[in-house]
Amino acid sequence: MIAVMAAVLLLAVPGVPLPGILESAAPTDPPTSRSPPPSGDPPVSNSPSPLACNRVTTPTPSSILVPVAGPSRATGRGGSVGATFEFSVANATSRQSGITVEVPSVFAAFPLSGGGSTSIYFGPRSFPLTGGGGWLNGSRSSATLPAPNGLAFAANATALLSSQKIAVLADTPYGSVTLEVRWQWTVTTSNGSTTTGAWSVPTSSSGWPASVPSIFEPAPAITRLWESGPNASIGSNFTARLGGNVSARYFFLELESASTGKVAQDHGLTSSAGASSATVTIVLLNYDRYLYPGNYLVHIHDACGALLMSLPVNASYASSATLTDYLQPATCGPVTFNGVSYANGRSFSVAPASTPYAVTVPSCSGHSFHGWHFSGGLYLSSSNKILVSSSGSFTVVYS
């Protein structure tokens, strides 16, 4: 089974009504002195060691993003627009028999004359490789979008076939097989006449961000065996167990907003040699130890940067968070948190919230305030306020 989500909207054409996950309204991020976190996929240079990758390097390796000249003829009421795509083997270094290609969700998007776009959705599918040349039997996929009210397409616009950054996979290592993909559209008018666009011409060149190579090596396949989502508490670990080609393999995880694509957290790990499954985790917290409730996506990349799968998670506050305060030296204090005084080493419970709690740092005879240390889901949003997203501890340090 391919673990793919149509909710990955990062390559969507503006205005395309794709099925997606909308992030709930959240407060503005608090100010921070940290450098801004990364906002996109990891570069290939994130790979922990030299290894074979897709020979065509792009920000979204092994994915589909193929533009063609869009239709200009309107469908009229009761017409339709359709799309077809298919694969061929451009090159293979080993016997193809027994290799299965897994294609994620794919969209064909068409800009409209009045603004916005309409799109055709293709669900995930797989097909086996067979010997011989030509376009592969079983690889072709066609879909039609009825237009009961008619569709008028934008003039001189570009139609786009996209897998929304998610890679095409195959149960074979990089370099074993090179695939090529092509697509075309068909417009049927209300009187039944048709106009068919030319097939796209596969190329190994990249026109990023408008296109990626349509001649490429698929990423080695993995499968999703289990995951802890789709609902989880902020501050907990989102966990997924992967199967397939996982032995001694590096995985790079990103937590990002489902609506904006902003990356909140990342984590990389390498599975054990000989492993038949791998467990990957990422903490549901921002780099600065806070996170607002909402819908997020966990992207799982390989060492070559290919986006293998995208898993949704709705992150919400737990009913309570346990906080522990410390003072250095311990003779200082007490600290006043949300109007209540706590001596060194005290633990207490509060409700996580998007509004920070007031905290008062006491004076300490013979010492001056030096700074803070935090753990867990606590963030100092200002000099006297702490944002609590999950359990954790804070330490007031004196010099």
Residue 137 lies in domain: 57-219
Q: What is the mean pLDDT of the chain?
A: 88
pLDDT over 90 percentage in the chain: 78
Q: Given a cut of 70, is residue 1 above it in pLDDT?
A: no
- Answer yes or no: is 74 within a domain: yes
Task: Looking at the structure, tell me whether residues 308 and 336 fall in a common domain.
Answer: no
In this prediction, residue 94 carries a pLDDT of: 65
102 and 166, same domain (yes or no): yes
pLDDT for 97: 72
Q: What is the pLDDT of residues 157-170, one digit of tens each?
A: 999 999 999 999 99
Does residue 240 form part of some domain? yes
pLDDT at residue 5 greater than cutoff 60 = no
Quick one: pLDDT at residue 218?
A: 95
Per-residue pLDDT, 137: 86
Residues 355 and 305 in one domain: no
Identify whether the C-beta of residue 35 lies closer than 8 Å to the C-beta of residue 291: no
Residue 43's pLDDT band (cuts 50, 70, 90): very low
C-alpha separations of 28 from 32, 69, 291, 292, 381 in Å? 12, 40, 11, 9, 12
pLDDT at 20: 29
pLDDT for residue 77 is more than 50: yes
Q: How far apart are CA 185 and CA 196, in angstroms?
A: 6
| pLDDT (0 to 100) of residue 51 | 62
Q: Are residues 378 and 235 in the same domain?
A: no
Here the tokens at position 142 are 């066609």
CB 271 within 8 A of CB 258: no
Kindly state whether residues 206 and 141 are assigned to the same domain.
Answer: yes
User: Of 316, 348, 381, which closes a domain?
Assistant: 316
**3 state SS of 45:** helix
Whole-angstrom CA distances from 248 to 41, 51, 269, 348 are 22, 12, 10, 43
Based on the fold, state whether residues 145 and 241 are members of the same structural domain. no
* Domain end point (choices 316, 342, 357): 316
Say if residue 342 is in the same domain as residue 250: no
> Position 207: which residue type?
G
Give the pLDDT score at 47.
41
What is the arithmetic mean of pLDDT over 94-102? 81
> What six digits make up the tokens of 97?
């028999």
Tell me if 231 is assigned to some domain: yes
Name the token pair of 170. 């195959």
Q: Is residue 170 part of a domain?
A: yes
Tell me: pLDDT of 236 over 50. yes
**Rounded to the nearest 10 degrees, how much is the dihedral formed by the CA atoms of 347, 351, 354, 360?**
-40
The burial class, CB within 10 Å (0-12 / 13-18 / 19+), for 268 is: middle
Residues 365, 312 share a domain: no
Q: What is the pLDDT of residue 148?
A: 97
pLDDT of 224 above 90? yes
pLDDT for the residue 134: 83
State the pLDDT at residue 48: 41
- What predicted TM-score, i.e. pTM, was given to this entire model? 0.86
In a domain, 50, yes or no: no
Residue 166 sits in the same domain as residue 236: no
Residue 254 lies in a domain: yes
On whether both 64 and 204 belong to a single domain, the answer is yes
Query: Predicted confidence band at 333 (pLDDT cuts at 50, 70, 90)?
Result: confident
Q: Which of 170, 193, 219 is the last residue of a domain?
A: 219
Residues 193 and 207 in one domain: yes
Q: Would residue 37 count as lying in a domain?
A: no
Overall number of domains in the chain: 3
Q: What is the mean pLDDT of residues 322-331?
A: 95
Amino acid found at 73? R
| Tally of residues, the chain | 399
CA dihedral sign, ordered 36, 40, 45, 49? positive
389 in the same domain as 362: yes
Q: What share of the chain is helix, strand, coil (3-state, %, to 5)?
A: 0, 45, 50
CA distances from 15 to 109, 110, 158, 260, 331 (A): 10, 10, 14, 14, 60
pLDDT at 37 over 90: no
- Report pLDDT digits (tens) over 171-215: 999 988 999 999 999 999 999 999 999 999 999 999 999 999 999
For residue 248, the domain's CATH number is: 2.60.40.2550
Residues in contact with 74: Cβ distance below 8 Å, sequence separation at least 6, in sequence order: 150, 151, 152, 153, 189
Residue 38 lies in a domain: no
